Amino acid sequence: MSKINIPSENGDLMLTKSTRLVGLKKRIEGKDMDEVDANVIPDLGGFEVVTLNPGQSIDDALDHARNHQDVEVGTHVYFAEGDNRPVVATGIIYCEMADGVGKEERQVIFDAFALDILEDREDGTVVCKVTPKSPNPLKVAAALDKLSMISKAYPDLDVPLDQYFLEPRDGLLPHEWHLENQGFVSDVPSFRLKVGADAKVKAAWRRLGNLGSSSIIVAVIDNGFDLNHPDLRGKAVAPLSISSNSSTLPTGSAYGDHATPCSSVAVAAANGTGIVGAAPNSRLMPLHGLTYSKYLTERMFNHCVRNRADIISCSWGTIDPRYRPGTEHERAIRLALTSGRNGKGCVVVFAAGNEGREYINYYASIPGVIAVGASTSSDTHASYSNRGNGISVVAPSDGGWPILAARAAWDQGNSAMPANKRYYVDGIDRGQNYKHFGGTSSATPLVAGICALVLSANPNLTSVEVKSILERTADKIGNTWDYNSSGYSTKYGYGRVNADAAVAEAIRMRGGTTTTTTTTTPVTTTPPVTTPTTPTTTTVPRDTTTTTTTTPSTPTAPAPAPTTPMVTGTNLFQFSVTGQARNGYGLQVSVNNEFANVLKQVEELERKYSLPVLVNISTVNGRTAFKLLIGPFSTQAQADVAKRKMVSLGAAEPWLRPLSSL
């Protein structure tokens, strides 16, 4: 299976099996193995991506590694066409059953693939997990997706997402001009900045009379937290290593260093030394592990909601349409936006991205998210910052003079540069704990810290209100023609964020001049459906010359709700009814709840496949269910011949069922 085409919410994804990389889930995380030739990625979907003995084929080497006593699971790694990022199947599969399929019926399918059910959700989604007896999860998902009993089956994948960070051109400066820009930095007088090209954070502190509230928690989701850094020490609450579901965060260069500067821009402490974040008094919720995995994405945002994060800062994402957020990704983020903070909603901030494109990070474009672009020390648009509809605001970052941020103890900087210029653009040493930083990676936690100041001023604001305040109070920068008649720009959003004006508006709204109205959506009920007391099996043969029945024009059952699907086209049928013994086999095609639709579908099945059709009437969850099957067949071999014929004519693979099971 060197290539496999798998179903995806973003269209089918063609994956090619790597000839070098595999994923290992070890019983003891990080333990060395002689079979491992090189460690490539320490954590992707819960697996350590490695290369194995180069003298063996990838299949033989993986089988050998799987037999190692320290390996719990071994899996192949894949690549999408035209992309050099490894893809790992996490072993989770999201399934949606066809209408009318009951729990007993679906269990037969899951048992056939040795799947365990992790969650049975109210919306009909069943979250499954492969077991040691299951086939490859990609194969399982592809097979499930072909079954008529299942409307969709998507394997959960993980792929490295893009961290929106710009490597220092050759270092960065110490003074935090992004908080208050006076036109210069003290030890680089030759480089001029634009007076006022800042986020007005110091002015916001003065208005508040403090540095924000210690009750506000900013969650940062990223890789590489140095929680022993002088400006972050003692600030962490509810830490989470996402893939292992552990409160212990991994450290060291193998696990990244991006999270440390991002966290410092938002909440670095005012402790008399080093730098200061936008909201120095706020606490930090560190979540280690960037992931595309749906299941792990749900875990990360659910963790933020459960542990009372107020703001969630994400300086990462993707512009690759193959890995745009799917239904479960968006549902997890929407849940945080709407149900976090006891129903007021977490404020979720995403970076627009650094690719310099005319469209933004897909995660940043999710409704309700605050999408952040970057502006420069000259109050201009940073050329690398993505543009497009969806940007809320921009915030000061690199592009003119960079900003200063915390550096993880293991961060080696730009090793291609001379030793004295690995951390600072001009080579001037400003301490081992800091570095120059930029990109939308820096702009995003700056906005997250400003949101913490806004909630410090008025903790009763909803996530919708916080986003609206930032957009309404932003300063228009750039050219007037960059904005449309509504005051919106695809370069700047609603403008450069203004912390002081945003805090002032939050204080004004705290005075009670603004109220929030809650609208309750009316519940529409569907009239009950009359159901038979005893399930029966009815055969509708192709030769329908025996009995003619006209469908009554006036229904005796209650009228359906206006949204009930109606059959169009033929509504006059000729059919005969013959009892069918529960012997032999049938090929289940679908399950339907509307009798009129059943008649129409029987007609279409007979015409297309020239095979007899069975209809089984039963009760599923209190409603009448009509199961449509091709058959009967005396033997399984006869049923297999019919199945191949149907598939060759374009049908989804039907489900073989002994009629005795109906």
Catalytic positions are 222, 258, 441
What is the C-alpha end-to-end distance of the chain, expressed in Å?
36
- Residue 325's identity, in one-letter code, is P
**290 neighbors 161 (Cβ within 8 angstroms):** yes
DSSP, collapsed to helix, strand or coil, labels residue 65 as helix
Per DSSP, the three-state class of 444 is: helix
What three-state secondary structure class fits 157?
Answer: strand
Segment (H or E) for 469: helix 463-473
Contact present, 195 and 229 (Cβ < 8 Å): no
CA angle 86, 88, 91 (to 5 degrees): 175
286 close to 237: Cβ distance less than 8 angstroms:
no
Cis peptide before 632 (omega within 30 of 0): yes
* 626 close to 595: Cβ distance less than 8 angstroms: yes
If we measure between CA atoms, which residue out of 76, 71, 82, 58 comes closest to residue 28?
A: 71
How far is 425 from 610, CA to CA, in rounded Å? 76
Is residue 447 within 8 Å of 312, Cβ to Cβ?
no
Structure tokens at 314: 């994400």
List the structure tokens of 341.
Answer: 């903070």
- Asked if residues 18 and 86 have their Cβ atoms less than 8 Å apart, the reply is yes
Closest to 96 in 3D by CA, of 50, 137, 145: 145
Q: Which two tokens stand for residue 415?
A: 């090793």
DSSP bridge pairs for 623: 620
As given in the structure block, the two tokens for residue 54 are: 């180069």
Helix axes 463-473, 499-508, angle to 10 degrees: 130
Judge contact between 642 and 636, C-beta under 8 A: no
Q: How far apart are CA 159 and CA 90, in angstroms?
A: 10
C-alpha span between 88 and 84 (Å, rounded): 13
- The secondary structure of residue 75, as a DSSP letter, is E
| Cα Rg of the chain, angstroms | 30
